Amino acid sequence: MATKEKLLEIKNLKQYFNEGKPNMVKAIDGLNFDIFRGETLGLVGESGCGKSTTGRTIIRLYDATDGEVLYEGENVHGKKSKKELLKFNRKMQMIFQDPSASLNPRMTVADCIAEGIDIHGLAKNRKERLARVHELLETVGLNKEHANRYPHEFSGGQRQRIGIARALAVEPDFIIADEPISALDVSIQAQVVNLMKKLQKEKGLTYLFIAHDLSMVKYISDRIGVMYFGKMVELADADELYNNPMHPYTRSLLSAIPQPDPDTERSRKRVTYDPNSHGYGKDELVEMREVRPGHFVLCSEAEYKMYQEKYAVK
């Protein structure tokens, strides 16, 4: 079996806002996980759990309070020259949640997409620049005639395709997709996700896919991490997580997914998560532990033994 290559390593990452003040918010509080080259890691959790902050801290839109983000072994948050930052920004790009807000309404689609091309000097002249824009538009399922239009002339799904084209313009290896389908109609969501899967296969991309729609996350992700109040509570392969959810918060999220069958929907039981139900002691060590191969859960030593007995591989 081939060894997976780590593209990104997150080590004890913390992001505190208003640090040292009475209203301090621990948006990310000690995250540890890896992302392997060529995979899609889904990151899920309720609103306000720190998913988007995680993505923005990884790509340096926020400076980390503590911890490390290692991309190909190099610390993203270390001191860097302008040249080093440009090199890093070309490798890692972001697709934002709101395609309307992420595109400059005063710029044509061609200029929006070509912004990265201009910054990194990837086109020798205007003709090459325009040819590259046309190629990117066609790659994401739009026409080259769209290049001279403005963002407001497009639908939400089309604007998100433009956002994807802009992210692809600098030929990155890693893309953070921050809830890229949440602002879209359900009928358009599958089209955008299928486009992302197609591009990943063609270009060997690696994704961090942030969302709160667990059914869609399962469809696109190889592995899924579940966040709760700034902490990762469970991490496993997508099928493993859905078939054997261990942490009570994960079980509560999965129980909330609507079922297409009315009879099943009426009879199914929803799980309510009570964060106080664990009853951890003051000095009890609570950390991510591997209960099954590749399946990690945030738990105490006592919970770990209980999970092992209940979910042992047979």
User: Do 234 and 250 form a contact (C-beta atoms < 8 A)?
Assistant: yes
- Mean pLDDT lowest for which of 73-82, 84-93, 230-239, 295-304? 73-82
Q: What is the pLDDT of residue 177?
A: 95
pLDDT of residue 265: 74
Beta-carbon contacts of 16 under 8 Å, excluding residues fewer than 6 positions away, are: 24, 25, 26, 27, 29, 65
Q: In percent, how much of the chain has pLDDT > 90?
A: 69
20: left (phi over 0), alpha (psi -120 to 50) or beta: left
User: What is the DSSP secondary-structure string of 228-270?
Assistant: ETTEEEEEEEHHHHHHS--SHHHHHHHHTSPPSSHHHHHHPPP
pLDDT in tens, 159-198: 999 999 999 999 999 999 999 988 788 888 888 899 999 9
**Cα–Cα distance measured from residue 84 to residue 102, given in angstroms and rounded to the nearest whole number:** 25
Confidence of residue 101 (pLDDT cuts 50, 70, 90): confident
The pLDDT of residue 6 is 94
Q: Show the domains of the chain with their CATH numbers.
A: 6-229 (3.40.50.300), 230-314 (no CATH)
The whole-number pLDDT of residue 1 equals: 37
Q: Give residue 314's pLDDT.
A: 63
Span 201-230, pLDDT tens digits: 999 999 999 998 788 899 899 999 999 999
When pLDDT is averaged across residues 276-287 and rounded to a whole number, the result is 85
d(CA 256, CA 216): 14
The pTM for the full model equals: 0.92
